[in-house]
């Protein structure tokens, strides 16, 4: 069974389901992308890690990581092994230093944990052929690339925070994180980063 390594491209609002988000995975050495519809909580857990935000209290996935580390358990890899009726199925390959164990997981949780453990995410070639989408230069796509200067994982209008001073923005991002409003914190951070690059 041939498998392909994936990386997390980003997250955008789902255009098809209200209150849901699209997790976008892209093959490591290729152009095919795999959109996976996930819930708001899982999207938040992924965005927090992508944006390097520090929650005031550990979230579920952070707690899992701390718990596993205390017992010398690591996640070696995540494998997306099945696609059935639009649902992606994943396994966590875990190791405790003595043996390896495969654990079933929702794909959204598996990706959130993979980001925290720094382990790779794989998908079978068969599923990638079936669910992968290749974006051509003439096609439009959601702004989810976290390496872009202007894109945001949670689009908030671009200029919403450009009238605030740097001091006000830093105070606002602290407040957003303390109240666990990570979507707002990510948008403010984008504005701060944009200003830093403009000042160079």
Q: How far apart are CA 190 and CA 184, in angstroms?
A: 10
* pLDDT tens-digit readout, 130-155: 998 876 544 444 444 433 333 334 44
Per mean pLDDT, which range of 29-33, 80-84, 109-113 is the poorest? 29-33
pLDDT score recorded for residue 29:
87
Query: Which has more pLDDT, 34 or 159?
Result: 34
- CA geometry: angle 87, 92, 94, nearest 5 deg: 170
Lowest mean pLDDT segment, chosen from 27-36, 113-122, 191-200:
191-200
**Residues 102, 150: contact at Cβ < 8 Å?**
no
Contact 132, 33 (CB under 8 A): yes
Helix axes 60-70, 107-117, angle to 10 degrees: 60
Instruction: Please state the pTM of the whole predicted model.
Output: 0.71
Task: For 150-180, write each residue's pLDDT tens digit.
Answer: 333 444 334 478 888 888 888 888 787 777 6
Q: What is the pLDDT of residue 158?
A: 45
The residues, any chain, with a CB within 8 Å of residue 188's CB and separated by 6 or more, are 161, 169, 172, 173, 176
Q: What would the two tokens of residue 163 be?
A: 């009238």
d(CA 37, CA 17): 8
Higher pLDDT, 73 or 197: 73
CB 25 within 8 A of CB 33: yes
pLDDT for 157 equals: 39
How many C-beta neighbours within 10 Å does residue 177 have?
19
For residue 176, give the H/E element and its range. Answer: helix 166-178
């Amino acid at each position: 069974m041939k498998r392909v390594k994936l990386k997390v491209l980003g997250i955008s609002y789902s255009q098809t389901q209200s209150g849901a988000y699209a997790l976008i995975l892209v093959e490591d050495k290729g152009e095919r992308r795999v959109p996976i519809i996930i819930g708001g909580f899982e999207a938040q857990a992924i965005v927090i890690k992508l944006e390097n935000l520090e929650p005031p209290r550990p979230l579920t996935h952070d707690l899992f990581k701390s718990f596993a580390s205390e017992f010398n358990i690591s996640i070696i890899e995540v494998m997306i092994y099945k696609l059935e009726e639009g649902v992606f199925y994943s396994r966590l390959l875990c190791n405790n230093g003595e043996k390896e164990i495969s654990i079933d997981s929702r794909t959204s949780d598996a990706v959130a944990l993979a980001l925290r453990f720094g382990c790779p995410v794989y998908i079978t070639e068969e599923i990638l052929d079936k669910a992968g989408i290749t974006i051509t230069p003439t096609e439009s796509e959601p702004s989810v690339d976290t390496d872009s200067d202007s894109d945001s994982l949670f689009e908030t209008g671009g200029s919403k925070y450009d009238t605030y001073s740097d001091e006000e923005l830093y105070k606002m991002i602290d407040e957003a994180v303390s109240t666990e409003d990570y979507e707002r914190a990510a948008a403010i951070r984008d504005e701060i980063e944009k200003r830093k690059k403009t000042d160079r």
